[in-house]
């Protein structure tokens, strides 16, 4: 199978699997890679552990894709070495074997975590400051920011697609674990203390997938950084309250945490101006998740 339409690196993950599924449904000729678990979808699959030599290169040689979407990311709690292997070295290796005479589009899925949260909301032109992060996401943030730059510097056909706080259902219909936990706790009457001065950009996985498919098509001409996230910045407090309302739990269970302030939200206004896919606000997202 050569000259396929789309190759999804990390197609067995939460976002990657929904993306593979949507690409199949859209009639795209798609293949995906997995590392530790293969998914049940009718597409060609390749086992690619980015720490192993040559398998990635062999996959590219066999598929010769017209577009690649890179969704691979180490599992939470992984060490700095693994983050570097997946978010930086994997990109470098992949770009080194792509055909320069017939360049394919390369979409690197990245994260709002490349920003510290000190001066959000962040636009596409803002400079990442992951070195300011001292939390558990530091290695993820640092290596993802380097991965973005490696791709932008080495490959003119690059789109960096940052997203944030992705919610929704995976290919088996299960909610993502973070939202599932919140729902279960609210339903069980557990009080949730949430930051009222901490701002995020919740994103619906279906909406992200639609936007990724749009930008992967040949007729989408922009190259550079895009923010494919929900259109609304909202505090953790207001988000949890909206979830409570949506699932008909007691909103009063959500109380205000005033201990810290930051804003890690993504401004999506420029991206929306060049994108046909409508980036959803929080109410639109919750109505789709809990119909
Ligand atoms: N989920 C969010 O809230 C969120 C927020 C911001 C940005 N993002 C971005 O969205 C993208 C996808 O995230 P996700 O939530 O879908 O992640 P995920 O569910 O953890 O999926 C990660 C994918 O990477 C693969 N992978 C892990 N280690 C690997 C390795 N050593 N070699 C090769 N592949 C490896 C996994 O394969 P196996 O499962 O087969 O091992 C899986 O396909 C990432 O770029 C992430 O930065 C996500």
pLDDT reported for residue 129: 98
Taking the centre of ligand 1 as the mean of its atom positions, its distance from the CA of residue 9, in whole angstroms, is: 9
Residues 175 and 90 in one domain: no
Question: Cα separation of 29 and 31, whole Å?
Answer: 7
Whether residue 219 is predicted with pLDDT greater than 90 in this model: the reply is yes
Residues constituting the chain: 291
Residue keyed to tokens 């577009």: 67
Domain co-membership, 185 together with 76 = no
Same domain, 11 and 108: yes
The pLDDT value given to residue 172: 96
Distance 109 CA to ligand 1 centre (A): 9
Most ligand 1 atoms within 8 A of CB, residue of 49, 51, 72, 230 to mutate: 72
Atom of ligand 1 nearest to the CA of 51: 31
First to last CA, the chain: 40
Q: Is 175 found in the same domain as 185? A: yes
Q: Is the CB of residue 47 below 6 angstroms from any atom belonging to ligand 1?
A: no
Q: How confident is the model at residue 1 (pLDDT cuts 50, 70, 90)?
A: confident
Does the Cβ of 13 fall within 6 Å of ligand 1?
Answer: yes
Which pTM does this prediction carry?
0.98
Q: To test the ligand 1 pocket, which listed residue (8, 9, 10) has its Cβ within 8 A of the most ligand atoms?
A: 10
pLDDT band at 249 (very low <50, low <70, confident <90, very high): very high
What confidence tens digit (pLDDT) does each residue in 5-63 have?
999 999 999 999 999 999 999 999 999 999 999 999 999 999 999 999 899 999 999 99
Closest CA to 219 of 105, 106, 110, 108: 105
Q: Please state, in angstroms and rounded to a whole number, the distance separating the CA atoms of residues 10 and 20.
A: 10
Mean of pLDDT over the chain: 97
CB 43, CB 21: distance < 8 Å: no
Mutual orientation of helices 90-97 and 138-154 as an angle, nearest 10°? 20
**CATH number of the domain bearing residue 20:** 3.40.50.720
Q: What is the pLDDT at residue 159? A: 98
Give which of 190, 22, 187, 62 is closest to 33, Cα–Cα: 62
User: How many angstroms does the Cα of residue 29 sit away from the middle of ligand 1?
Assistant: 22
Task: Give the number of other CB atoms < 10 A from CB of residue 255.
Answer: 13
What is the structure's pLDDT at 53?
87
Tell me which residue range forms the domain holding 160: 6-166+204-227
pLDDT in tens, 99-141: 999 899 999 999 999 999 999 999 999 999 999 999 999 999 9
Instruction: Check residue 102 and give its pLDDT.
Output: 84
CATH number, domain containing residue 285: 3.90.25.10
* Co-location of 94 and 38 in the same domain: yes
Percent of the chain at pLDDT exceeding 70: 100
- Same domain for 209 and 246, yes or no, is no
User: Is it the case that residue 83 has pLDDT exceeding 80?
Assistant: yes
**Domain count of the fold of the chain:** 2
The β-bridge partners of 224 are 159
Q: Whose CA is closest to 216, among 5, 2, 36?
A: 5
Q: Is 145 in the pocket of ligand 1 (CB under 6 A)?
A: no
pLDDT band at 225 (very low <50, low <70, confident <90, very high): very high
Candidates 214, 207, 221; CA nearest to 164 is: 207
Name the band, by pLDDT with cuts 50, 70 and 90, for residue 77: confident
Task: Please tell me if the CB atom of residue 34 comes closer than 6 angstroms to any atom of ligand 1.
Answer: yes
> Is residue 173 situated within a structural domain?
yes
Same domain, 176 and 104: no
Residue 36: its pLDDT value, please? 96
Strands in 234-235's sheet, in edge-to-edge order, are 234-235, 198-200, 262-263
Is the residue at 1 inside a domain? no
| Strand 198-200 versus strand 234-235 pairing type | antiparallel
pLDDT at position 79 is 95
Same domain, 179 and 218: no
Q: 24 and 47, same structural domain?
A: yes
Indicate if 26 and 141 belong to the same structural domain: yes
Say whether both 124 and 196 belong to one domain.
no
For ligand 1, atom 28: residue with the closest CA: 74
Ligand 1 pocket check for 6: Cβ under 6 Å = no
Q: What is the arithmetic mean of pLDDT over 263-277?
A: 98
Distance of CA 40 from the midpoint of ligand 1 (Å):
17
pLDDT of amino acid 278: 98
Instruction: Give the residue-averaged pLDDT of 248-275.
Output: 98
């Amino acid at each position: 199978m050569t000259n396929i339409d789309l190759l999804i690196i990390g197609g067995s993950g939460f976002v990657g699997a929904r993306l593979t599924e949507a690409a199949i449904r859209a009639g795209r000729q798609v293949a995906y890679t997995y590392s530790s678990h293969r998914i049940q979808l009718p597409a060609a699959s390749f086992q690619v552990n980015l720490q192993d030599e040559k398998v990635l290169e062999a996959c590219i040689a066999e598929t010769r894709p017209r577009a690649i979407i890179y969704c691979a990311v180490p599992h939470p709690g992984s060490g700095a070495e693994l983050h570097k292997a997946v978010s930086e070295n994997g990109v470098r290796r992949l770009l080194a074997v792509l055909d320069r005479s017939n360049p394919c589009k390369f979409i690197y899925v990245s994260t709002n975590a490349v920003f510290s949260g000190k001066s959000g909301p962040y636009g596409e032109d803002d400079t990442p400051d992951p070195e300011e992060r001292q939390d558990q996401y530091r290695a993820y943030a640092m290596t993802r920011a380097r991965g973005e730059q490696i791709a932008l510097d080495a490959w003119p056909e690059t789109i960096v697609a940052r997203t944030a706080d992705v919610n929704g259902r995976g290919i088996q219909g299960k909610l993502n674990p973070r939202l599932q936990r919140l729902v279960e706790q609210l339903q069980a009457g557990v009080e949730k203390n949430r930051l009222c001065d901490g701002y995020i950009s919740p994103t619906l996985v279906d909406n992200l997938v639609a936007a990724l498919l749009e930008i992967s098509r040949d007729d989408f001409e922009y190259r550079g950084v895009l923010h494919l996230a929900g259109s609304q910045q909202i505090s953790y407090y207001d988000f949890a309250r909206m979830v409570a309302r949506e699932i008909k739990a007691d909103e009063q269970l959500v109380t205000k945490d005033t201990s810290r302030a930051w804003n890690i939200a993504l401004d999506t206004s420029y991206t929306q101006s060049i994108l046909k896919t409508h980036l959803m606000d929080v109410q639109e997202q919750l109505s789709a998740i809990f119909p």
